[in-house]
């Protein structure tokens, strides 16, 4: 099983089916917080739904085409992070993440994204990592900005969020620019 130790308090762990209830509880107890920026939250109404989702994530990992991992802070599941897919021919990937409200402000996500960017460049040998965030999602946008990613543009109406489209800010980091 894939595990990546970020620091003494933070560890990333590939989701297994046994994590379905824990993951559902995390999302369900943060529903209003996550719903503001994640279009899939309302569709997840039972832990059983995560069995098939986790199977897809495990297949993705087995096929070396990205992964989703739980973020554990002092052993407690507090969020999710993952590479959407790997574009091996172009040496790039995109990264997505979310964090439970009660864990914000501790540096967890900045440290996690830094660790996964290092992993992408130095373990996987990729050349580019991209992050897309809702333009109005300042907390999410602070992560790539804090880590020195370059804002490359805005995708107008880039995502449908329940009843409206919203714009996405696109951030990129190239391996030769990265300060590990």
Determine the topology of domain 3-177 in CATH.
Answer: Aminopeptidase (3.40.630)
What are the residue ranges in the chain where pLDDT is below 50? none
Decide: 117 and 107 in contact? Cβ < 8 Å.
no
- Rounded to two decimals, the pTM is 0.95
Give the C-alpha separation, 136 to 139, whole Å: 9
Helix locations, the chain, DSSP H: 20-29, 31-35, 49-62, 108-118, 138-146
Decide: 91 and 122 in contact? Cβ < 8 Å.
no
What are the tokens at 173? Answer: 């980091």
């Amino acid at each position: 099983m894939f595990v990546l130790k970020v620091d003494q308090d933070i560890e990333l762990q590939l989701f297994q089916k046994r994590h379905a209830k824990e993951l559902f509880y995390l999302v369900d107890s943060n529903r209003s917080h996550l719903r503001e920026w994640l279009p899939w939250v309302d569709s997840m109404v039972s832990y059983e739904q995560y069995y098939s989702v986790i199977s897809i994530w495990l297949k993705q990992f087995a096929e070396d085409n990205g992964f989703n991992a739980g973020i554990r802070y002092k052993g407690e599941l507090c969020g999710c992070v993952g590479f959407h897919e790997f574009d091996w021919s172009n040496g790039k990937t995109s990264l997505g993440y979310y964090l439970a409200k009660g864990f914000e402000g501790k540096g967890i996500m900045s440290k996690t994204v830094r660790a996964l960017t290092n992993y992408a460049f130095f373990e996987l040998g990729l050349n580019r990592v991209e992050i897309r965030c809702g333009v109005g999602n300042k907390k999410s946008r602070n992560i790539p900005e804090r880590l020195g990613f370059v804002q490359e543009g805005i995708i107008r109406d880039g995502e449908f969020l329940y009843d409206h489209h919203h714009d996405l800010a696109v951030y990129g980091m190239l391996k030769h620019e990265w300060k590990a």
